[in-house]
Structure 1
Amino acid sequence: PLRMLRAARFLAGYHLEPVPELVAAVREHAHRLEIVSAERIRDELDKLLEVPDPSAGLWFVVDTGLADQFLPELPAMRLEQDPIHHHKDVLAHTIAVVAKTRPERLVRLAALLHDVGKPKTRSFGDNGVTFHHHEVVGARMARDRMQALKYSNDDVEAVRKLVYLHLRFHGYGDGWTDAAVRRFVRDAGDQYERLVDLTASDCTTRNKRKAAMLARRMDEFKARVGELAEQEALDAIRPDLDGRQVMEHLGIGPGRHVGQALDMLLEARLDEGPLGEDEAFRRVDAWWAAQGGSTAEGIAPTTGG
């Protein structure tokens, strides 16, 4: 039975067209996939998603009924996003997004599952069709399906996070503060690069102007992330000693001299890199001697006892 799934990968990987006899045979025997272990199905799905363009294979598993056996959320997305304006259905959009992402297992899984919450959240109102909170519902559905397919906890959490956050960037055009950019990066965590890939690929519009605008915003956003990362890397650099160590070493209390000593050490670190504590204490001694060795702002040296 697993050969039926393997056929989907071969169709996609070698750009083949399924003959009617193959389609008919798979439709007839698709139910036999239920005797195959979840782990083997999972592995075959991963291999399909890693071919350069898995579109033909994904359509094959839907059209033959194979997807009903292990990923019923996929055929369930065969509904129009907006029946009034006849936008492409959710499934067609999903497969297009998968094809646009780089052929890496987890980002492709996230692309495959990013809109699974839409059928359950679709509603019609005065302003047309909406899918409010489909990312929240979809994240739960993605988690449940991946657990059923025996994916590792790390894989499940990675894809759940990507599905949950896949809409976050779309508010960027409203003018994000630096804090909002930092929050996006923090929330994405180690999935940041995959989230950027998924977000960029989620634009499948034929409107070239709209697509160019999104690409420009994404480039601006990535540039801001880079600038903030550089700044925060600089901000994270600290002197090799802290204020307490300086005070104890020099035998002085709090005051401007402590701050000046730390500034001197910070400048040395920026210029030379980490000094190490021994060298830092030597620099403090030399600096302190150049100051005349006076106590800070008239505060007497600290003494034991």
Structure 2
Amino acid sequence: MPNTALPGENPRNVPDAAVAASSPAAGELTAEQQAAITELFASIDTVTEELGERFAAAGHELALVGGPVRDALIGRPVHDFDLTTDAVPQTVLRLVEGWADSVWTVGIDFGTVGLRKKGLQVEITTYRSESYRPKSRKPEVSYGTSLRGDLVRRDFTVNAMAVRLPGHAFTDPFGGLADLKAGLLRTPGRPQDSFTDDPLRIMRAVRFAAQLGFALAPEVAEAAAGMADRLSIVSAERVRDELVKLLLSPDPRRGIELMVDLGIADHVLPEVPRMRLEIDEHHRHKDVYEHSLTVLDQAIALERQRGMEPDLVLRLAALLHDVGKPKTRAFESGGRVTFHHHEVVGASMSKSRLSALRFPKDVVADVGRLVALHLRFHGYGKGEWTDSAVRRYARDAGPLLERLHVLTRADCTTRNRRKAASLARAYDDIERRIERLAEEEELNSIRPDLDGNEIQEILDVGPGPVIGKAWRFLLELRLENGPMGKEAAAAELRSWAERHGD
């Protein structure tokens, strides 16, 4: 692979004035930030110092770069240790041979060598850039020779800071420290160049906004909006991974709103901006888009109240639970607006979109199931459901029951306090009933009182369709009446068989 940058050169061939404008002088670390860097290296000092010395002795550079430096400076936990060097991967392998406890090369085609030493896992990547041809889905990787040249190709200035090894010299050629303090996402060079190099950075911009609470610099937002269609050349898996990180961030709403406002969602989750239904004085209804974002916020708040970890399935279901409304909207007399069966349509749409984004099959199925079930509770009324109806509700939700509880509660966004309180009391009631029945009957694993072998023996028949019909009959009986016991179930089965001539 050709070298594309020499020490001190501008690797993008951007005019010097433009580079100067986008590369303010590095700021100085505060005492607190310097302490954070010192503390970061205290836990990994032996390994990184030894590595730095090995590379320096061989005439090569080595630096901790990107996310670990950024996170240490803002007080976030550091989990990944990414190093960068001017040494090509074959040289890296030679330098760590016999020193590292283990080495892996799955990323070597992209210039990355992974290793483990004394329990610490690090990845060392040769100075590089990645770029896409106009219609290519795979980036082309080029090696460089200078740290500055590597940093200018990073996605954002807050990720373009480094700490050289050995010695821990802080390097910040593009003003990342100042942007970190300002909570601003800028690119080291022109954002158009950055997004051309890797269009996924458009998604990374909105993901970092949600994850770190940062704002996009005006020129970054403008370029993201103008180049959002470039996401079509990025693999669905890479886009999905950024979306997952966004949704599991502290403030997904911030990222989703940016995606919609900048037109990014049109290429990733087009169903979401389509929920922005027009509202007029004759046909009044809730803004479905704003409602869905509020449901997402409330689901996250309930997650925290209930001691749950950030839940991807729940958050996807909260965001997508009403995506079927635009397709099912109908206007009726008197200004009434209806969305009949939007939960069924929405479940199908959710599964189609998540499948297109290559989400795992269990995630697709679980989100679709929650969307399909999210209206079920609204038939509960004032608690007039029978125990059999409560059993069916719990059984249909199965292992998704806790998530369904949260989603259904979060779906209440009415400003009418009396109505909200009434809904909350009704859901408190159904949860208590489910808990009581669960203690009595193990609701999560409801089965008929007789299994398939017992059904065959009682009916004196072999395997076949009639066994499935009989099993479903006994399941409905079990849901309706609760546990019956084998003798009573056998009597009901014989009676059923006689009625059906089996």
TM > 0.5 fold call:
yes
Shift of 1:80: 4.4
The letter for the 1-side match of 2:294 is A
**Residue in structure 2 matched with residue 280 of structure 1 by the alignment:** none
The one of the two structures with greater contact order (alpha-carbon pairs below 8 A, sep at least 6) is 1
Shift of 1:124: 0.2
Q: Distance in 2 between matches of 1:4 and 1:140?
A: 28
The answer on 1:178 being equivalent to 2:387 is yes
Matched, 1:122 2:329: yes
CA RMSD of aligned residues (A): 1.9
When you count helix as a share of all residues, which structure comes out higher?
1
Deviations 1:226-274 (A, max 9, x none): 111112149x9xxxxxxxxxxxxxxxxxxxxxxxxxxxxxxxxxxxxxx
Structure 2 residue 276 is the aligned partner of structure 1 residue 78: yes
- Residues 122, 132 of structure 1: 8 Å contact kept: yes
CA shift, 1:27, in A, is 0.8
Q: Within 2, Cα distance between the matches of 1:22 and 1:142?
A: 30
Consecutive unaligned residues of structure 2, counting only runs of 5 or more, are: 1-198, 304-309, 447-502
Tell whether the 8 Å contact from 1:81 to 1:129 is kept in structure 2 after alignment.
no
Select the residue among 134, 157, 168 that pairs with 2:342: 134
Normalising by structure 1, report the TM-score: 0.73
Distance 1:52 1:208, change over 3 A: farther
The within-5 A match list for 1:260-279 is none
- Residue 133 to residue 82, structure 1, CA distance change in 2 (3 Å): farther
The answer for unaligned runs of 5 or more in structure 1 is 237-305
1:94 is aligned, of 270, 292, 315, to 292
Q: Which residue of 2 aligns with 1:107?
A: 314
Distance in 2 between the 1:123 and 1:63 partners?
A: 27
CA offsets per residue over residues 30-74 of structure 1, 9 Å max, x none?
011011111111111111111122111101001111111121111
Is structure 2 residue 344 aligned with structure 1 residue 146? no
The 2-side partners of 1:161 and 1:95 are apart by 20
Relative distance call for 1:190 and 1:208 in structure 2 (3 A) is: same
Q: For residue 364 of structure 2, what is the amino acid of its counterpart?
A: V
Compared CA separation, residues 147 and 233, structure 1 to 2 (3 A): closer
Distance 2:282 2:296 in 1: 25
**1:150-197 deviations in Å (ceiling 9; x for gaps):** 111111110110010100001111511100000000111111111111
**1:250 alignment counterpart:** none
Q: One-letter code of the match for 2:228? A: A
Where does residue 60 of structure 2 map in the other structure? none
1:169 paired residue among 352, 361, 377: 377
Q: Give matches, 1:189-268, under 5 Å.
A: 189-233=398-442
Residues 81 and 87 in structure 1, CA contact (< 8 A), matched pair in contact too:
yes
Residues 113, 163 of structure 1: 8 Å contact kept:
yes
Tell me, in whole angstroms, the C-alpha distance in 2 between the residues paired with 1:54 and 1:82: 29
> Which residue in the other structure is 1:4 paired with?
202
- Aligned to 1:173, the other structure's residue is in SS state coil
Q: Partner of 1:287 in structure 2?
A: none
Q: How many residues align?
A: 235
Runs of at least 4 residues of structure 1 off by over 6 A? none
Can you list the C-alpha shifts for 1:256-305, whole angstroms capped at 9, x where unaligned? xxxxxxxxxxxxxxxxxxxxxxxxxxxxxxxxxxxxxxxxxxxxxxxxxx
TM-score (norm 2): 0.45
- Deviation of 1:81 after TM superposition, in Å, equals 6.8
For the 8 Å contact 1:80–1:88, the answer to whether it is kept is no
Give the % identical residues: 57
The amino acid across from 2:381 in the alignment is: G
> Deviation per CA, 1:93-148, whole angstroms, max 9, x where unpaired?
11111111133100001111111100000000025110000011111111111110
Which of the two has greater strand per residue? Answer: 2
Matched, 1:67 2:276: no
State the distance in 1 between where 2:245 and 2:371 align: 21
- Whichever residue aligns with residue 297 of structure 2, its letter is A
Q: Does the aligned pair in 1 maintain the 2:246–2:252 contact within 8 Å?
A: yes
